[in-house]
Homo-oligomer: A and B are copies of this chain.
Amino acid sequence: MESRRTRQQDAIEAVLADAGRPMSVQEVFSAAAATVPGIGLSTVYRTIRKLAEQGEIAAVAVPGQPDRYELAHVAATHHHHFHCTACDRVFDIRGCVGGLDRLLPSGFELHGHELTLVGACDHCSGT
Contact = CB atoms under 8 A, between A and B. Distances in A.
Interface of A: 59-64, 67, 80, 82, 84-85, 91, 93-100, 102-122, 125-127
A3 to B, nearest CB: 24
Contact of A122 (B64, B106, B120): B106
Nearest to A86: B109
Identical chains bound together, number: 2
B63 A59 contact: yes
Given A59-B63, A115-B114, A94 B85 contact: no
Given A61-B61, A113-B117, A114-B118, A103 B107 contact: no
B102 A95 contact: yes
Contacts of A127: 107, 109
Contacts of A67: 63-64
